[in-house]
Amino acid sequence: MEPLVVGHLFPDYLNIYADRGNIAVLSRRARWRGYQLEVRALGASAEIRPGEHDLFYVGGGQDREQALIAPELAALGPSLRQAFDAGAAFLAVCGGYQLLGGYYRDRNGVELPGIGLLPLHTLAGSRRMIGDVLLECELEPGSKQTLAGFENHAGRTILDTGAKPLGRVVAGFGNDGESGYEGCCLGRAIGTYLHGPLLPRNPWLADWLLEQAIAHRTGDLPVFEPLPDELEKQAHAVSARRAESRGGRF
């Protein structure tokens, strides 16, 4: 089988809180399941041909890094949206999550353009929302899962009316510290504030992303046999306990 191709957007700028570790997890879990992952760095003026990439990943960055790459990322917007429409999967974390929306407005009122893929926009706030966070998610009907991670953001992300959040906040702040929801999910695209990195402690989400990438490549959604994941389950449990010790906010 041809390798699964991952487009890693601006990896030299958007890689805060070990977000690059998410790529390592995807590569290893793909190998365990008999698939090869080919990761390609995509920067300014990258050529993104239709159907070439099965999954796109964009990590987090501080305001300075976001401001540096936002225009270049926005210029890739049409080809990225075309790839999404053709079935490619996306994972965007923190700053990358914000830039997959319509725009990010900083504290000075300057708007950084997003690519307009996810139905949301983000406004800078005066107080940072920091700490462990626990979510309850249901990406597939009737299959509830929990996501555990770490958030550190001042941006308040506001979903458009009718947009689907990634999950309900059990403990932590989430998108804006008020709505009780975190992240955004649209088809095969996921945006979230969860750092840490996210996938080592949430292997079910890593497998879901791999399933979507394989379905894009082959046309068929695979059925994965469970992996042992003992260390991953322990990491999830530790992170979940830390979040719960903060007390539920919603």
Q: What per-residue confidence (pLDDT) applies to 249? A: 59
pLDDT in tens, 191-206: 999 998 899 999 999 9
Burial of 231 (0-12, 13-18, 19+ CB in 10 A): exposed
In the block, tokens 């997959």 appear at 100
pLDDT in tens, 102-121: 999 998 999 999 999 999 99
Total residue length of the chain: 250
pTM over 0.85: yes
- For this structure, is 94 an active site residue? yes
The active-site residue out of 8, 121, 195, 216 is 195
Which helix (H) or strand (E) element contains residue 236?
helix 230-245
Which helix (H) or strand (E) element contains residue 62?
none
Distance from the first to the final alpha carbon of the chain = 46
At what angle are helices 77-85 and 63-75 packed, to 10 degrees? 70
pLDDT in tens, 13-38: 988 877 889 999 999 999 999 999 99
The active-site residue out of 94, 137, 184, 185 is 94
Q: What is the mean pLDDT of residues 165-169?
A: 98
Residue 144 has pLDDT above 90, yes or no: yes
- For this structure, is 53 an active site residue? no
In the block, tokens 């926009």 appear at 121
Structural domains of the chain in order of their starting residue, each with its CATH number:
4-245 (3.40.50.880)
137 pLDDT band, cuts 50/70/90, is: very high
